[in-house]
Structure 1
Amino acid sequence: MGKHELCAVAAGMPDWLPTAVRHYVQHTEAGLTIRQLARVAGCHASTVMRQIRRMEARRDDPLVDAALRRLSRREGAALPERLDPEALRVLRRLSEPGAVLAVADGMQKAVVVRETGAGTQVRTAVLDAAMAQAMALKDWIACRKTGRVAQYAITGAGRAALARQAAPPVGMAEAAAPFEDAPARPRTPRYGPAEAPIQALARRRDGQGRPFLSDALVAAGERLREDFELAQLDGRQGQDWSRFLTGGVAGGWPGDGAVSGPGAARARLAAALADLGPGLGDVALRCCCYLEGLETAEKRMGWSARSGKIVLRIALQRLRRHYDETLGPGGPLIG
């Protein structure tokens, strides 16, 4: 069998599919021999054999097994054609301390939850089960606990994929940069790359030993950030969120009557920021959505030092009240 016949066998498979997965499906479902696959791939037959054996062993993973069933027997909806930006959004959430992806057998959705300092859990992302299966095939997530509800954590490959997306491109423009005007060494950020300011504040204690931010306030900030991220998934370019900063939080997105998906998330975000008003909406957008540090936010807003955390707590309190009044306590599933 030549390359043309092999391409016909691989028709319908997403472009992002790893080579090992392609070889496994072509061998087990299409009946291609290991030597045929190795000849077309230009590698030794033992390499293809190891790939197939490894994929067979990975079928103990519920998400991997379900994804291979979709590919081989076309069961249920097809795997997504592309992984970004949805998968990268989920990887950012999974890179947060204490975050896991939970998925139940037979459910069409998976959720990302994160443990708080008080031992409770807050939901930070919702995604389709097909997307979770694709991430497992890419080896970006791995099963840490099996059972009625399986739990997955981000892997080293997943963190590497997230780092590649966040890394600036290296090209000739960077190589031609002058050396004499090198910028000063940046200060060490107050928050890690995977930690939002509200997560750091939630670990702090007030004068009476209570958490500076309650779990309910953290959940309100996470809901705002989730809507902010979901609103980016509709492919619109150049969305100007700065119009919601000080002096521009009034008004929403005219003509956007969507009831689900990115359009609904954009409407929820606009309504929440409009309810917060100038100042409070500004600090909520900067710290919860842009993950801007409190020191930076204080300087840009012209506030005194260490006042930002107080204003942010007031904004989260009003944000929680907004969600309780519009969506009810806890609110519906996002996504």
Structure 2
Amino acid sequence: MIDRLQELGREALEEIKQADSVKALESVRVKYLGKKGPITEVLRGMGQLSEEERPKVGQKANDVREEIKEKLEEKTEQLEKAALDEKLKAESIDVTLPGKEVKQGARHPLTAVVEEIEDIFVGLGFQVTEGPEVETDQYNFEKLNLPAEHPARDMQDSFYVTTDMLLRTQTSPVQARTMETFEGQGPVKIVCPGKVYRRDDDDATHSHQFMQIEGLYVDKNVQMSDLKGVLEAFVQKYFGADRSIRLRPSFFPFTEPSVEVDVSCGICGGKGCRVCKHSGWIEVLGAGMIHPNVLEMSGFDPEIYTGFAFGMGVERFAMLKYGIDDIRHFYTNDIRFLNQFKRA
């Protein structure tokens, strides 16, 4: 049997030497080392050998198998390297050819608008503050003078996670949280950008998800004239120095008095056109003096401190600035729409 094993080893090595492909080498491996190969057949016949011959034959069989495996690995490596060299020669790169242009992306129009608005308010002395999008009922409503049965809650129907947790309907909770950290000592001067959520019909002007930027200023002797001055400076910086604003009485539970803020139409210069519905004005945001209850719930003494707050929809400001007629364009990821703002 030892002679037979030596003969099988020589035959296998010769076939490995003659093999010219990895596929041929695999055939050699199966032929000699497979379960039905001749070496396996020799090992099955070891039961007929004496106790003295068995270890010698077993050792020789292992030696032959290891030698065949080693030669197979060496030849496989040689053939794979040769194949790679041939492939590289066939696929040589002409380094003199011009490279492919790397297309550069751009900021999303909403991101650009948020950053521009932030820059304007930072220039006015405000700080940028952010907060959680999943909010408690206490901060989203109660701390903003909206108790459980208040009818104004119907206008901000949202997506509830639990009976007490919801996706925030406004960024005002960030204002309440920030005021608490000041422990009743002003001044507090912040703007709060972020995503908000409300159950709303998806149409050209409404979306269940949109972005807001709200502002807050709390200090001693803050007056309505301060609010008007800040908003006028902001509007003229954002829309242009020729624009003006007007304040109309309104109602918000967290401010008293409350106002709607209109900006003069940039299309007709205030004369009246289709864009401004022939009024000369376009509504852009809501604002007002902070309600004493809101100040008190956040730790400020309303007898000492006053303040104002305002809130605006980022999409509305983007639509007015860039002439976009459908809010849904911001969220459909249409590359044709987004490419228009590379220079914005």
| TM-score (norm: length of structure 2) | 0.22
Q: State TM-score, norm by structure 1.
A: 0.23
Whose Rg is larger?
A: 2
Greater fraction strand: 2
Query: Bigger relative contact order, structure 1 or 2, given CA contacts below 8 A and separation 6+?
Result: 2
